[in-house]
Amino acid sequence: DAKTTQPTSMDCAEGRAANLPCNHSTISGNEYVYWYRQIHSQGPQYIIHGLKNNETNEMASLIITEDRKSSTLILPHATLRDTAVYYCIVRIQNSGNTPLVFGKGTRLSVIA
Amino acid sequence: GAVVSQHPSRVICKSGTSVKIECRSLDFQATTMFWYRQFPKQSLMLMATSNEGSKATYEQGVEKDKFLINHASLTLSTLTVTSAHPEDSSFYICSARDPQGRNQPQHFGDGTRLSIL
């Protein structure tokens, strides 16, 4: 079973920030939060991951609450190409033999 | 650029045909690869873990004789859907992670859409 809960769907206006929440209240101390997205008919694409500090890369920012029970993925300026299903996953880092387990994710629709 | 390459991207074939899907890790060696299946409007479901040099580990409910996995080298895993039937029509996705990099995420191929007529 997935250890995260996400809203089923969200809309965002093009050019605005998209804030995607994720609850992971049972996260363990050695588990990281990973975000992937899947554009229609493609394989999942890695976005970002973090443990407890906020993280930022060229794609997005990840804000993790101090108690680590929830996080938010931020796409600062959403474009139509960001329309996808976004998955929040918790797992132990460097567990190369342990596969990612996907929940249902959030379907983000970026609207012109 | 892609770090996991999957081929073919799409297959359409008759019922009873066996179909082979290849998954290659580019620029790194993967002792472990994962195979997922995704039905329309559903999430990815793990089918099996492919281990180089040993037998694959299958998830509950996945028939190992139906979905043959061969991890022949450190850069190649193949999934063969034997005697495929319409209910096997799905989107098959492979995944691998570079074990050398401490912070390397798990990467995915672009998937293979299998349609059985």
| pLDDT at residue B27, as a whole number | 85
pLDDT digits (tens, 9 = 90+) for A61-94: 999 999 999 999 999 999 999 999 999 999 886 6
Q: Is B34 on the interface with A (CB under 8 A)?
A: yes
Contacts of B72 (CB under 8 A, 6+ apart): B78
**Those residues with Cβ within 8 angstroms of residue A68's Cβ, 6 or more apart along the chain or in another chain:** A24, A27, A33, A52
Q: What is the band of B19 on the pLDDT scale with cuts at 50, 70, 90?
A: very high
Q: How far apart are CA B72 and CA A105, in angstroms?
A: 33
Number of C-beta neighbours around residue B103 at 10 A: 9
Residue A108 pLDDT more than 70? Answer: yes
What is the helix, strand, coil percentage profile of chain B, to 5? 5, 50, 50
Tell me what pLDDT residue A91 has. Answer: 87
E strand intervals along A44-98? 45-50, 55-56, 61-64, 70-75, 84-92
**Does A102 contact B at CB distance below 8 Å?**
yes
Which tens digits make up the pLDDT trace of A5-56?
Answer: 999 999 999 999 999 999 999 999 889 999 999 999 899 999 999 999 999 9
| B87-105 tens-digit pLDDT | 999 999 999 988 776 667 8
Which chain A residues touch B31 with a CB distance below 8 Å? 96
Chain A residues whose CB is inside 8 A of the B105 CB are 34, 46, 49
